[in-house]
Structure 1
Amino acid sequence: MIADPASFTGVRRRIREQLCAWGRTELADAAALCVTELLTNVHRHVPSPACVLTLTRLPGGGVRVAVADRSHVVPVAGPPPGACEERGRGLLLIAAVADRWGTTLTADGKQVWAELR
């Protein structure tokens, strides 16, 4: 897929639909937020907007959302931004709603993921 903000609404809708189909409606809002933030990071910080989004069921009823891109630059959560700053909250939001999150380096780039239970 292409990390284009114009497509994020449709992506969130599909994530919610899939989680409802899996009987995990309670995770839909958190998963949608994580996907939006991960895709936004690709859009803003990776030279190519091409990426792969995956949603995986985890044993025990959780889900893992992941976005893989072609950059080897690992995202780092910085200090909380000031109240008037427009950027810098994405990874902090993911950390707040996910049970775990991280980055896995791959031969072609990286995959940034969040697990929700």
Structure 2
Amino acid sequence: MAEPKEAAELRRLVWRQLTEWGLPEVIEAAQLCVSELVANVVTHVGEGTPTAFALTMNDTCVRIEIRDPDARALPTLLAPDTDAESGRGMAILDAVADRWGVILHGDSKVTWCELATGSRPATDHASGCRQALGRAQRHFEADLSGTG
């Protein structure tokens, strides 16, 4: 379920999994991305929304995905006023991640972001992530729907 307390648990899971994969250099950025993705669902789709989380890694990038059941509430990159109390989540994600996007699936969506691992030197991290997506990946998933 998309709840603030679940974001804390996901940050711990991300730390544990990325440590196991030997990627300590992306842990902080990945945890920040997870927090912002979950907060986006809580704020714009609703607290308690059934969600699913996936963390994958290939030889050049880590990909974080959050699936929720609302294909209408799309993440939007805003430029909030300096005194605004909200509206910075996707700007933070945009600043931290090498790339991000949304995949629509009829009645649901997956909001994702990618972080370059530094495992292979590349002048264009986003290009490296795109090229490597077809290769074998290490994968971790968590169903946050509360049903399993």
TM-score (norm. length: structure 2): 0.73
Choose between structure 1 and 2 for higher RCO, CA contacts under 8 A separated by at least 6 residues: 2
Offset, 1:107? 2.6
Q: Which residue of 1 aligns with 2:109?
A: 110
- Percentage of pairs with the same residue: 39
Q: What are the superposed Cα offsets for residues 12-38 of structure 1, whole Å, 9 maximum, x if unpaired?
A: 011011001001111101111111111
Counterpart amino acid of residue 26 in structure 2: L
1:39 aligns with 2:75: no
CA deviations 1:69-97 (Å, max 9, x no partner) are 01112211112x22222211111011101
Q: How many residues align?
A: 114
Q: Which structure 2 residues correspond to residues 12-51 of structure 1 after superposition, within 5 A?
A: 12-47=11-46, 49-51=49-51
Alignment deviations for residues 82-115 of structure 1 (CA, whole Å, 9 cap, x no partner): 2222211111011101111000001331000000
Tell me the SS of whatever aligns to 1:36.
Answer: helix
* Local SS of the residue matching 1:87: coil
Q: 1:13-68 deviations in whole A, cap 9, x for unaligned? A: 1101100100111110111111111101111111461111110112x231000101
Q: Give runs of ≥4 in structure 1 deviating > 4 Å.
A: none
1:48-59 equivalent positions in 2, closer than 5 A: 49-58=49-58
Letter in 1 for 2:55: L
Please give the alpha-carbon distance, in whole angstroms, between the structure 2 residues aligned to 1:51 and 1:9.
15
Q: Distance in 1 between matches of 2:78 and 2:55?
A: 26
> 1:84 aligns to what?
83
Counterpart-to-counterpart distance in 2, 1:116 and 1:3: 22
* Residue identity matched to 1:112: T
Aligned residues: CA RMSD: 1.3
Structure with bigger gyration radius: 2
Q: Which runs of 5+ in 1 are unaligned?
A: none
Structure 2: distance between partners of 1:92 and 1:22: 28
Query: CA–CA distance in 2 between the matches of 1:11 and 1:98?
Result: 17
Give the TM-score taking structure 1 as reference length: 0.91
- Gapped regions of structure 2 (runs ≥ 5): 117-148
